[in-house]
Amino acid sequence: MKTIAVLCDVAAEFGGAERYWATVLPQLAQRSVVRLFARRVEGTYALGLPAQQIDWAEENQPTSSTTRERIADAIRGADTVVTANVLDAEVLETVRDSRARWIARVHDHRPFCPNGNKVYPQFSAPCTNAIGGVCYANTLLRGCVRGPHRSSFELIRQRLRVRDAVAHADAVLVSSGYMRDVCIQNGLSEGRIHITPPPLGEAFFAPAVEPRSAAVLYAGRIEEEKGLLSLVRAVATIAEAARPSIAVAGRGSESYEHAVREAARHAHVHVQWLGFLDQPHLVQAIDEARVFALPSLWPEPFGLGATQALARSRPVVAYNVGGVGDWIADPHFSVPRGDERALGSVIEILCNDAHAWQRASAQSREIAERYRLSGHIDRLLSLLDIKVGSQE
pLDDT in tens, 242-251: 999 999 999 9
Overall residue count recorded for the chain in this entry? 392
Nearest to 371 by CA among 238, 242, 253, 195: 195
State the Cα–Cα distance between residues 30 and 28, nearest whole angstrom.
5
The 51-53 sheet, strands edge to edge: 51-53, 33-41, 3-11, 80-84, 101-105, 171-174, 193-195
Instruction: Supply the mean pLDDT for the chain.
Output: 92
* Statement: residue 201 has pLDDT above 90: no
What pLDDT does residue 392 have?
A: 47
Residue of 96 and 31 predicted with greater confidence: 96
Distance in angstroms (rounded) separating the CA atoms of residues 371 and 104: 20
Task: List residues bridging with 38 in a β-sheet.
Answer: 8, 53
Per-residue CA distances from 69 to 61, 166, 181, 315 (Å): 19, 20, 34, 50
- Say if residue 252 is exposed, middle or buried (CB neighbours under 10 Å; 0-12, 13-18, 19+): middle
Alpha-carbon torsion angle 110, 116, 117, 119, nearest 10: -130
Which residue in 215, 210, 175, 167 sits closest to 195, CA to CA?
A: 175
Residue among 336, 334, 338 at smallest CA distance from 347:
334
Query: Of residues 337 and 208, which shows the higher confidence score?
Result: 337
CA atoms within 13 A on the CB side of 212: 9
Sheet holding 291-294, edge to edge: 271-275, 246-249, 216-219, 291-294, 316-319, 334-335
Supply the angle between the helices 340-352 and 354-368 in degrees, to the nearest 10: 100
Q: What is the pLDDT of residues 154-169, one digit of tens each?
A: 999 999 999 999 999 9
Task: Determine which helix (DSSP H) or strand (DSSP E) holds 85, and give its type and residue range.
Answer: none
- The whole-number pLDDT of residue 355 equals 95
Least confident span in 13-17, 253-257, 265-269: 13-17
What pLDDT score does 198 carry?
92
Give Cα 241 distance to the centre of its chain.
35
